[in-house]
Amino acid sequence: MNKVQGLLSKMAVMLPAGQTQADYQMVLGEQRVDMNPLLGQKITLVHTGEIHCQACDRITRKSYSGGFCYPCSQSLARCDLCIMKPETCHYDAGTCREPDWAEQFCMKDHIVYLANSSGVKVGITRIDQVPTRWLDQGAIQALPIFRVKTRYQSGLVEMIFKAHVSDRTDWRKMLKGLAEPMDLHAKRDELMAECRAEIDALQQRFGEQAIFPLLDKDVLAIDYPVQQYPEKVTSFNFDKTAEISGVLKGIKGQYLILDTGVLNIRKFSGYQVTMVSE
């Protein structure tokens, strides 16, 4: 029996060189636990009752904006609406909460991509988050389609494409393993043709090198360590159930798939948790 306690963060995930299956580690404070070898074993996660802000580390009764105390959620740029809707970026207006942070996070190259998690979707991510972003979403396929100079500009491109394709993942469908492989190159070409005039207008506004199409990229295929997908998706919540236990049947996206239900690890960042594997 192994027992580890610490502040929960989203699971670390990578694609080892030359492999297609995602490799996961549970992150509990400074400790990391390899999760793939635990498939088929019983694990128990217990929330001790403490929640810490990811930014200032103060104890908070409730988590806001995905792992922050209320004051930080109101003052940090990473908690602003423009993170979810980058097309609303107000950096140029001089009203960014943390302009120095924005320089590092938003004013760097982003990728606009197509992914297949529960069906085809469009999304954006910082270039240094490839392929982590796709793994976190549980995508079985991903294809970069544009390299864009800023987060704001990538949001404008995404807006154009999401008039024709979803920008959301159906997490329940993703966890049931129902997505079928798709021809993402053909979908990219179809969308490029449909959106050509609007993309041309953005390139004229910002410059062709600011919004650069990626036409020579291969589709990345991704597998996940899943022994069995659930027929019915029942989700756990540490705010309602302090102790969660079950046989680990799989890991996909940021979800643990247990024989008793599923748990979104990322949702509970900053929660102090004890994990026991048997």
Token readout for 86 is 């980058």
Does position 116 have pLDDT exceeding 90, yes or no? yes
Q: How far apart are CA 150 and CA 155, in angstroms?
A: 9
In this model, does residue 1 exceed pLDDT 90?
no
pLDDT band at 81 (very low <50, low <70, confident <90, very high): very high
pLDDT of residue 26: 98
Q: State residue 275's pLDDT score.
A: 98
For 193, the enclosing helix (H) or strand (E) is: helix 184-194
- pLDDT tens-digit readout, 4-42: 999 999 999 999 988 999 999 999 999 999 999 999 999
Contact between 219 and 187 under an 8 Å Cβ cutoff? The reply is no
Mean local confidence (pLDDT), 269-278: 95
What pLDDT, on a 0 to 100 scale, did the predictor assign at position 278? 85
Please give the DSSP secondary-structure letter assigned to residue 269: T
CA distances from 58 to 27, 78, 238, 270 (A): 19, 18, 19, 10
**Omega before residue 131 within 30° of 0, cis:** yes
The helix/strand/coil state of 267 is: helix
The residue assigned the tokens 């995930």 is 13
The per-residue pLDDT for range 120-160, each reduced to its tens digit, is: 999 999 999 999 999 999 999 999 999 999 999 999 999 99
pLDDT digits (tens, 9 = 90+) for 232-266: 999 999 999 999 999 999 999 999 999 999 999 99
> 247 near 258, Cβ under 8 Å?
yes
Cα–Cα distance for residue pair 70/54, rounded to 1 Å: 11
Residue 148 tokens, joined: 């864009």
Question: What is the pLDDT, as a whole number, of residue 239?
Answer: 95
Whole-number mean pLDDT of the chain? 96
Burial of 229: CB neighbours in 10 Å, binned 0-12, 13-18, 19+: middle
Q: Which pLDDT band, with edges at 50, 70 and 90, does 207 fall under? A: very high
Over its C-alpha atoms, the chain yields an Rg (Å, rounded) of 20
Res. 178: pLDDT tops 90: no
- How many other β-carbons are positioned within 10 Å of the β-carbon of residue 207? 12
CA pair distance 28, 2, nearest whole angstrom: 13
User: Cα angle vertex 167, ends 165, 170, to 5°?
Assistant: 105
What is the C-alpha to C-alpha distance for residues 132 and 139, in angstroms, rounded to an integer? 10
